[in-house]
Amino acid sequence: MKIITVSYRLPLSIKTQNRKTTITQSAGGLATAILSYSEKSEADLTWVGVADFEENTWEKNKDSFPKTFDVEPVFLDKKLNKNFYNIFSNSVLWALFHYFPSFVEYNDEAFEAYVAANAIVAQKINEIYEPGDIVWIHDYHFLGLAKLVREYHPDAKIGFFLHIPFPNFEIFRILPNKAKRYILEGILGANLAGFHTWDNAIHFTECVEKILGLPQRSFLFSQDSHHTKVGSFPISIDFDKFYDAYNRDNVVALRDEINGLYQDKKIIFSVDRLDYTKGINNRLYAFERFLEKYPEWKEKVVFLLVIVPSREEIGKYGERKKIIELNVGRINGAMGNYKWTPVVYQYQAVDFDRLIALYTSAHVALISPVRDGMNLVAKEYVASRQDKRGVLILSSMAGAAKELQEAITINPFDTELTGDKIALALNMSEEEQERRMERMQKYLKKHDVFKWATHFLSETEAAHKQDTNAVPL
């Protein structure tokens, strides 16, 4: 038996230096968690995803890197991939599912490309699938895939997990009818459909009931071929990896460097991909309001704003970047002086050790998405604080807010109150910081990404087993 994991991106990184290409498997949270489950269950792991490299690069290098699991890249035609990924996935589904209907740029050609790409990936799975395998499909790029795999293999064990929110009916209905049906019927091809929160699971079941007219019984949909169980599975992080990083030599040196640079100041920190869902401008307005309302903090605080380049080829992202940069410039110009820069901004990623050094030197993590499936940054900040210091300010629009109950929650649109919460966080006593951190860490240690993957996969197996119509293997 093997686990076939499907996600748009493959957990691979490819570098070319001096005309020599090297491929390495990257160990992100998801990959390590599934790998750990596959080892425990003595199952092999095969990862299917869309290649962001040329087929001949793959053919030349595929045997020359140490593999912990098999990789099956799918090579898509450039135009098809643009319509499938940039347009339908990222300019229709991403925008709509995060409640930005006015950002949706729907066109039929992009939808047809999405349908075609899902069919091509289904064909790839079909080539490697063997009876008894579990197929775990990830995210909004492959909403049609579970149904297609089910058509080839009626008795397959299929789990589907959505990493972004599932919107309510009023938002979802905006899609053309054919797209709505394709998505809902597609997800219902799985034995288990998982979401980060019950709110999302409820939105999905409501859409199925209203659009497909299929009734549910306790989050279970019955079809002739199989049943689909719907549930909440909040994703998490590799807690120990973040907790244990605190004392690593390089992390300590980098933290000392940061603390040395800002020794007389408190640090507010945030890190996100460039994305309009992350509320980066809302955060800047709140920081500006905070400085206006609490001028005693001027020159005593610095906001380290790290933004990681993402989806720059999509118009809405470029637009957002310009607004962010205007805001940073305006705040620094109006509030700062030759001795003090209120917002220190970088539009570049940081490596893991620097990320931990920043997490662990920040008095406050200011995380303000206007809509977010989960938000792992919030969980990572908490997990990395072995010193039990720091305050998490977290938007209630992030899935993580349901679990991280000791965070200071904000509505990112309420600039005034968010400014007040920044002041509250900066003034919080060490005892109170410790109390909150300890409780959240206890929760995260218990609910890490390994538990999440194990729970999801064993529930997929259980749902498949319970399926009265499933053909016994």
Active site residues: 163, 372
Of 7 and 226, CB closest to ligand GDG: 7
DSSP 3-state percent helix, strand, coil across the chain (nearest 5): 50, 20, 30
Beta pairing partners, 3 = 45, 134
Cα atoms found within 13 Å of the Cα of residue 253, Cβ hemisphere only: 4
Question: Which 8-state DSSP code applies to residue 265?
Answer: S
The contact set with ligand GDG (CB under 6 A) reads: 163-164, 235, 271, 273, 306, 308, 349-352, 355, 372-377, 380
Q: How far is the CB of 355 from ligand GDG (least distance, A)?
A: 5
Exposure of 282 in the CB half-sphere (CA atoms within 13 A): 23
Paired strand residues for 195: 232
Cα angle 412, 415, 418 (rounded to 5 degrees) comes to 70
* 205/375 with CB nearer ligand GDG: 375
The DSSP letter of residue 56 is H
In a 10 Å sphere around its CB, with 0-12 CB exposed, 13-18 middle and 19+ buried, how is residue 271 labelled?
buried
Nearer to ligand GDG, 271 or 407 (CB): 271
| Closest separation in Å from C-beta 176 to ligand GDG | 24
Least distance in Å: CB of 164 to ligand GDG? 5
The answer to whether the CB of 133 falls within 8 A of the CB of 157 is yes
Count Cβ atoms below 10 Å from residue 137 Cβ, excluding itself.
30
DSSP 315-353: HHHHHHHHHHHHHHHHHHHHH-BTTB-SEEEE-S---HH
| C-beta closer to ligand GDG: residue 248 or 273 | 273
Which CB atom, from 47 or from 129, has the smaller least distance to ligand GDG? 47
Q: Torsions phi, psi of 234, nearest 5?
A: -65, 120
Cβ-count burial of 167 within 10 angstroms (0-12 exposed, 13-18 middle, 19+ buried)?
buried
Whichever of 22 and 26 has its CB closer to ligand GDG, that residue is: 26
Q: Rank residues 304 and 328 by Cβ distance to ligand GDG and give the closer one.
A: 304
The residue written with tokens 């064990």 in the block is: 157
**How are beta strands 70-74 and 44-50 bridged, if at all?**
parallel
Toward ligand GDG, which CB reaches closer, 380 or 406? 380
CB of 470 to ligand GDG, least distance (A): 28
For residue 49, give the DSSP letter. Answer: E
Question: What is the number of other CB atoms lying within 10 angstroms of the CB of residue 364?
Answer: 24
H helix intervals, 188-313: 198-207, 239-244, 249-261, 280-293
